Amino acid sequence: MHPPPTARPRSRDLGVTVGELPTGPHNALTDVPGIRVGHTTLIRPPRVHSGVTAIVPDAVGPDRPLPAGVFAGNGYGKLIGATQIAELGALETPVLLTSTLSAFRAADALVGWILERPEGADARSLNPVVGECNDGLLSDIRSRPVREEHVRTALDTASDGPVAEGCVGGGTGLTALGFKAGIGTSSRRLPLAGREITLGVLVQANFGGTLRVRGRTVTPADVGLPAEGPDPQAGSCMVVAATDAPLDARQLTRLARRCVYALARVGAAYGHGSGDYGLAFGTNPLGTPAGPAVVPDDVLDPLFTAALDAVEESVLNSLLTATTTTGPHGDTRHPLPARPLLALLE
């Protein structure tokens, strides 16, 4: 199937599917009930290609944390809030994804946003969670363009509908595997312990390596693109997974590991300078007295498979839906072109 002329295709639009499990209606993180996503995109070419993405669980708050787990495949990153999640297994705030040097302003803005809301009225401690990738190749990262108003807009406009992908929000200035990349998302539905559950994934893709699609390596030259030099900051990927499956923090940490492992399927190099993180959380608040019983570990294999498949598809979506971008120093990166990719796979 060829993409429509006015829109860039997703992986499934091209018939490139991953795994056998069905997706949710939007094939996105927002297919998990109670999850919303918002973006603020900042483009002032050629100097600024940046932004912030907000993942907002309806049920979260400092007085009603969600079970969560985190895993660092390679810890060269600034995942604000990671140590408390690792220690307590609890997520207290929405999750923000942005540019490396804007992460600290974003965290402060998130704290202010929470303290002003009813769920933060009595808070005396708060653990904001902000992930980041380095967009310094295609954006003036030192200008720290993401401000408080941009964070608030992403949080306030987050919706549960289709999720914009590619050069949006925290993915605006990113590159991965030799191509222009950005935000990508996917979901899976599956039976687990006698009930149907949904797993959703969103990636902020910015890592090095050589792309693999259906087991075949794909370089820019293979699909007719000019060969570019190596990215000076060829690293980092934030993978955020959410599920309505009844899991505890330990099990969610296991799920977060699989999210990072999945990057190897598409050719991640896990280089020295790469911050490769998985964050997984559940939508059932901790301490809910009438909540479903936690599922046993020995039934988790289908969920792990779903995570591997959804992350792989999310990365492909981030590469396919991006747009050609030229940065302040003349560097240009192109997205993965659909028709040459299909010809190569055939």
Do 18 and 309 touch, CB atoms closer than 8 A? yes
236 is a catalytic site residue: yes
Is 11 one of the annotated active-site residues of the chain?
A: no
Select which of 99, 186, 236, 314 is catalytic.
Answer: 236
* Catalytically annotated residue among 102, 274, 314, 318: 274
Q: What is the reported pLDDT for 289? A: 63
Domains, the chain, ordered by start: 18-324 (3.60.70.12)
Q: Are 96 and 130 in contact (CB under 8 A)?
A: yes
* Predicted pLDDT of residue 345: 95
- Other beta carbons less than 10 A from residue 195's beta carbon: 11
110, two tokens: 């998130």
Please confirm, yes or no, whether 276 is among the known catalytic residues.
yes
**pLDDT at residue number 3:** 37
The pLDDT score that the predictor gives to residue 2 is 34
Q: pTM here?
A: 0.96
pLDDT of residue 4: 38
Q: What is the mean pLDDT of each run of 10 residues along the chain (346 residues)?
A: 58 97 98 98 97 95 95 96 98 98 98 94 95 96 98 98 98 96 98 96 96 96 86 79 97 98 96 95 78 89 98 98 96 97 95
CA separation, residue 178 to residues 40, 76, 174, 223 (Å): 25, 20, 11, 12
